[in-house]
Amino acid sequence: NPAPSFSFSRDGTTYDVPQSGTVSGGGGSYQRQTSLSPDAGGGKYQVFCIVNNTVTNTWEVANTFITFQEPPPGPPQITVKGQPYQGLDPSNIVTLVEGDTEDVTCRVEGGYPAAHTTRLQCGQLVRTGDGNTATVSFTRTGQTLTREMNRSDCTCSSQHASGCYANKKTTLTLNVLYAPDVTFTVNSADRTFSKGDNLEFKCSAQGNPDPTMTL
């Protein structure tokens, strides 16, 4: 008695001007409440409550640590051949050649704490990283990049401790170039003909880009 003066600070910076507390019960017990918004972004902060006796001008200080969880601001980023891609933009297309040795890497930037359990799926290939990164590697001796993966999507997602990141994804479409497969047939199983027979030749090809044929 009289009521002490209360103030709060975060990491040494006062964000609440000193004010008198309110009476809580009897016997000269006082308390004061305040709110704190994470204007500085996610992180771990030390918060101090400073109580001043206005008669004796003495101070008492109590502190605690709090953690603000902040999800990453943007969707995951997929990088191939040094080119980054983000979001669900239909123009996210990368051109590769069958048999290429390439890494498809997904990374989630920002947020506190860092994102975890990052999942990257390219076609039927799935890679999961414990942290904020996952990579699918195409090699000549291991997992090869084949024509069957043409027009397949690589999709990346991740998780965050705040629970506010599940809906953010990035998708990248693979445009895989490959040499044509050519089929050439005639209308006779043994390719034997007699004079006056009608000969029919058929040539077909499949490739990417579309092949040009001359018969």
- Dihedral-angle region of residue 15 (phi above 0 means left; psi in -120 to 50 means alpha; beta otherwise): alpha
Residues 6+ apart with CB under 8 A from 203: 182, 183, 184, 185, 213, 215
pLDDT-above-70 percentage for the chain: 88
CA 127 to chain centre: 13
Is 70 exceeded by the pLDDT of residue 18?
A: no
- Assign 17 a pLDDT band (cuts: 50, 70, 90): low
- Dihedral-angle region of residue 191 (phi above 0 means left; psi in -120 to 50 means alpha; beta otherwise): left
Give the pLDDT of residue 23. 47
Q: How far apart are CA 144 and CA 137, in angstroms?
A: 9
Average pLDDT across the chain, whole number: 87
Q: How far apart are CA 161 and CA 177, in angstroms?
A: 40
Which of the residue ranges 4-13, 27-36, 65-74, 196-205 would you say has the lowest mean pLDDT? 27-36
Is 80 exceeded by the pLDDT of residue 72?
A: yes
pLDDT-above-90 percentage for the chain: 53
Which of the residue ranges 60-64, 76-80, 115-119, 131-135 would you say has the lowest mean pLDDT? 60-64
Which superfamily is assigned to 77-178 in CATH? Immunoglobulins (2.60.40.10)
Q: How far apart are CA 113 and CA 170, in angstroms?
A: 20
Question: Can you tell me the mean pLDDT for 24-35?
Answer: 68
Contact between 205 and 181 (Cβ < 8 Å): yes
Question: Can you tell me the mean pLDDT for 147-159?
Answer: 97
